[in-house]
Each structure stands twice: as C-alpha cells, then as structure tokens.
Amino acid sequence: MSFILFSLYFGTTWLAIVILYKIEIHRVWNHLRKHHRQKWEELGPETASLLVLSRLMAFLYSSDNLGDPIVEELKLNYRRFMRIIATVIFTAPSVFILMLPWGKMLLSGS
C-alpha cells in the first residue's frame, strides 16, 4: 500500500512538473520569438534537441537580459521553478522512506 501511495504522489507531482515546465519554456520561447527575434534565431528552433536546450539553459542562467525586464522576470521564474524541481527530486527518497512501515516506526520512536 505504501508503494502505491508513493507512486501516486510521485506520479502526480511529476506530471504537474512536466506540464509546468513546458508552460515556462513556452513562455520564454514565445517572448523571445516575438520581441527578440535575433536571440531566438541564435538559440535555434523551439525543439527538444539537446543542443537547443543546452543553448537555452546557458541563456537562462546568464546575466544577459537583452535590456528587457520581461526577459529578466521570465528567467527568474524559470530558475525558481528549477529549484522546485530540485526540491522534489531530493525529497522524494525521504518521502518514500517515511511511507514504508519501518519509516513510520522511525518517526514514532518505537
């Protein structure tokens, strides 16, 4: 039963993360395409290729905001979102252990 609960928790959490990640990336691509065409073309087409994603990640973590406060806000939102993802990744093992029968015993001190 604990494994089912953990799978349900982790599955729904990751589904939400994937959807939100796609939304955040789309917002960045869309803004760059509409307002900073040269940078958008420099990064490459909106695909999931590793080369394009690595270029985009380098841009998102750079200090270059193209003189646009919206770009700065989008980059900040993305970095915040990545911290949420890291938190989920690093807390998942703890949640799994606590859901196991002996994990509950550790909490209760028995």
* Segments forming the whole domain that contains residue 46: 2-10+22-108
Cβ proximity of 74 and 28 under 8 Å:
yes
Q: Tell me, yes or no, whether 6 lies in a domain.
A: yes
Cβ proximity of 59 and 39 under 8 Å:
yes
Task: Output the tens digit of pLDDT for each of the chain's 110 residues.
Answer: 667 777 787 888 889 988 988 898 889 989 999 999 898 888 876 666 677 778 888 888 999 899 999 999 999 999 998 898 888 888 888 777 777 665 556 556 55
pTM for this predicted structure: 0.73
Structure tokens at 75: 């980059």
What's the structural domain count of the chain?
A: 1
Q: Tell me, yes or no, whether 16 lies in a domain.
A: no
Q: How far is Cα 65 from Cα 109, in angstroms, rounded to an integer? A: 52
Q: Tell me, yes or no, whether 46 lies in a domain.
A: yes
Q: How far is CA 3 from the centre of its chain?
A: 24
